[in-house]
Amino acid sequence: MSHWPSSKARKVLAALLRIGWAIQREAGGSQKVLERAGWSDVVFAFHEAEEIGPRMLKRIAKRTELTPDDFYPAALPPCATSAPSSWANQTNGKLLERR
């Protein structure tokens, strides 16, 4: 059994771009040729909204060195827990109520 979850093609492509693959050219509606130094080119032929199953993800991973961890960025930006100081200055330090 594979440990790969099904994923949308746009997420798979974003993960590939994040690990160093680049779009060499777009060969048609859904076909993109990806390149990376030291690797042979890979044809990524999926529509963005298409669901890619675990078996196909495993095949893509074999040719691209993609891992399940590559789908999640290592460092997410911190969440803002308070309003920025510029916002407080614009409202004279008062909180606005929602009506």
Taking the domains of the chain in order of start, what are their residue ranges?
Answer: 7-72
Identity at 88, one-letter amino acid code:
A
Average pLDDT, the chain: 81
Burial 8-27 (b: 16+ CB within 10 A, else e): ebeebbebbeeeebeeeeee
- If you average pLDDT over each of 1-15, 25-39, 84-98, which comes out highest? 25-39
Distance CA 62, CA 38 (A): 15
pLDDT tens digit string along 17-48? 999 999 999 977 889 999 999 999 999 999 99
DSSP string for 16-60: HHHTT-EEEEE-SSSEEEEE-TTS--EEEE--TT-EE-HHHHHHH
pLDDT at residue 3 in the model: 82
Q: pLDDT: is 83 or 51 the higher one?
A: 51
Homologous superfamily, domain 7-72: Hypothetical protein. (3.30.920.30)
